[in-house]
Amino acid sequence: MTDQSKTNIDAESFKRQKSKEEMQRQLISFGLMIVFTLIAFAIVATESIDKIYVIPILFVMAIVQAAFQFYYFMHLKDKGHEMPATLIYGGVWCAFLTLCGLIVITWW
């Protein structure tokens, strides 16, 4: 009985450690998203960068924030979430192709 209770304690300790690591990752991701938001506000408010560069910088920062959202807060990195991840990434790819097509049609 003592071996099984030691195994249960080890399993509980392992789960607690994994939960702590997951919470740290989520807090770091949340902090990075807040920092990116503050940087975006600062770029727009101070007008320190030429307007031609502001929009691409904001788009890149938005894409990074969306990736953080998908990967950490929607748990797409976890096992068993392959189908939702495939559908979301497929939708992102479809939107990208649509935008590329619209840009080509507009410039043609």
* Residue 32 neighbours by CB under 8 Å, 6+ apart: 68
Q: So what's the pLDDT on residue 2?
A: 60
Q: pLDDT value at position 101?
A: 95
Q: What is the C-alpha end-to-end distance of the chain, expressed in Å? A: 76
- Smallest CA-to-CA distance from 33 within 74, 76, 75, 62 is with 62
Q: What ranges do the domains of the chain cover?
A: 2-73, 79-108
Question: What distance in Å separates the CA atoms of residue 66 and residue 95, rounded to the nearest whole number?
Answer: 14
What are the tens digits of pLDDT across the range 16-63? Answer: 888 888 888 888 888 988 999 999 999 999 988 888 999 999 999 998
pLDDT tens digits, 63-108 = 888 888 887 777 777 788 788 888 888 998 999 999 999 999 998 7
How does DSSP assign 15-57, residue by residue? HHHHHHHHHHHHHHHHHHHHHHHHHHHHHHHH--S-HHHHHHH
Alpha carbon distance 6, 72 (integer Å): 32
> Structure pTM?
0.65
Tell me the chain's radius of gyration from C-alpha atoms: 21
Cβ-based neighbour number of residue 61 at 10 Å: 17
